[in-house]
Amino acid sequence: MRVVILGVGNILLTDEGVGVYAVNELLAGYDLPEEVEVIDGGTSGMDCLDQVSGADHLLIADAMRSQQEPGTITRLAGDQIPAFFKTKISPHQVGISDMLAALNFHGLMPRNIVLIGVEPRSFATAMELSPDIAARLPEVVAALVAELTALGLPPRPKAA
């Protein structure tokens, strides 16, 4: 089994970078099973195609406009994913949508795709998350850990 965790977003635009911050926090706090690959996808989109290609499971962490309160964490899975990426909130999501379409076209679509999305507060130019979004980061990481655990690949917390 091969699992790819893809953190996407632009860290120059405040909360738009929440997915990148989440995967970096995951890497800093946990030792991951060898079946798990973590990618800081930034705004790359299609550039991640080769790394995601052939994965059994794809977990995506990203900012997500869901008309909820800022900081709301939402889990989407399966058929909900392509629908989400049809309503784009930023240019990198065009790349993710194209990447998923290319994987599907070539028969390389992961069997299982889950998006852990966080409702952003701000897309202002700044290299840090809004305080309330930063406060939710441990919950985003916990959601990623829960997904891995459900797949039978529980991460181990790193020694302090």
Q: H helices within the chain, ranges in order?
A: 18-29, 49-52, 80-86, 91-105, 131-150
Q: What is the pLDDT along the chain (160 residues), one digit of tens a residue?
A: 999 999 998 999 999 999 999 999 999 999 999 999 999 987 776 666 777 888 999 999 999 888 899 999 999 998 877 666 665 555 555 567 777 888 888 888 898 999 999 999 998 899 999 999 999 999 999 999 999 999 999 999 998 7
Q: Find, among 2, 99, 118, 10, the residue nearest to 58 by Cα.
A: 2
Show the domains of the chain with their CATH numbers.
3-155 (3.40.50.1450)
Q: What is the pTM of this model?
A: 0.89
